[in-house]
Amino acid sequence: MDGDALRALQAPIKASYREHPEAAQLTLSARGTLVGNALTCRVEATGGLVEAGLHPATGGDGSAACSGAMLLEALVACAGVTLRAVAAAMGIPIRGGSVLAEGDWDARGTLGVDKAAPVGFPRVRLRFEVDSDASDEQLAKLLSLTERYCVVAQTLKNPPELTSEIVPNRPADR
């Protein structure tokens, strides 16, 4: 898609959001199901069900998806789509390429082996390898705008307020 087609596609959406800002306020959701006694969570993903479980470094057998890897996959997906959209808007042809996200992880934190070890990724690296004739200045601007408009990247850079609750579903409640 070129920049003109993208602008034509998004123009009425942007106009609507300017006139009615509340229409742009969305709630996305994800749902998982705990089934039986397995150490897994069945996630209802857009492409079908994904069975998430323990990484082999924490006792998993490798047959279930790792949620940490899924987080990096979400970053790659969002950043890749955002880069394509920004490149189209800027008129920068991208013939192809790849997006790579790497996160450093210390399984000791997750397992409670070392209370000083972090739980989660203290460092995440995102790299774009693009097949393009764009100048270094254009690519720098493309990267800057991609970082700015990528929802997942911005969420990782500026963590949201996270609240949690547990709601019992006791036999008498069913």
- What does the mean pLDDT of the chain come to? 95
User: What does the pLDDT read at residue 173?
Assistant: 61
Band (pLDDT 50/70/90 cuts) for residue 168 is very high
The reply to whether 84 falls in a domain is yes
User: What does the pLDDT read at residue 169?
Assistant: 86
Q: Which residue has the tokens 């042809």?
A: 93
Is residue 52 within 8 Å of 32, Cβ to Cβ? yes
Order of all β-strands in the sheet with 40-45: 32-33, 40-45, 48-53, 65-66
CATH label of the domain that carries residue 74: 3.30.300.20
Tens digit of each residue's pLDDT (9 = 90 or more) over 129-161: 999 999 999 999 999 999 999 999 999 999 999
The reply to whether 117 falls in a domain is yes
The reply to whether 29 falls in a domain is no
Segment 95-99 shows an average pLDDT of: 98
User: What does the pLDDT read at residue 170?
Assistant: 85
Q: Which of 81, 54, 78, 51 is nearest to 68 (CA)?
A: 54
Segment 14-37 shows an average pLDDT of: 94
Q: How far is CA 9 from the centre of its chain?
A: 24
The reply to whether 16 falls in a domain is no
Band (pLDDT 50/70/90 cuts) for residue 172 is confident
Q: Which domain holds residue 72?
A: 66-160
Torsions phi, psi for 161 (to 5 deg)? -70, 130
pTM score, whole prediction: 0.91
Torsions phi, psi for 153 (to 5 deg)? -60, -45
User: What does the pLDDT read at residue 35?
Assistant: 86
Torsions phi, psi for 82 (to 5 deg)? -65, -45
The reply to whether 13 falls in a domain is no
Tens digit of each residue's pLDDT (9 = 90 or more) over 63-94: 999 999 999 999 999 999 999 999 999 999 99
Burial 78-93 (b: 16+ CB within 10 A, else e): bbbebbbbbbbbeebe
- The set of residues, in sequence order, having a beta carbon less than 8 Å from that of 154 and lying 6+ positions away, is 147, 148
User: What does the pLDDT read at residue 26?
Assistant: 95
Count of structural domains within the chain: 1
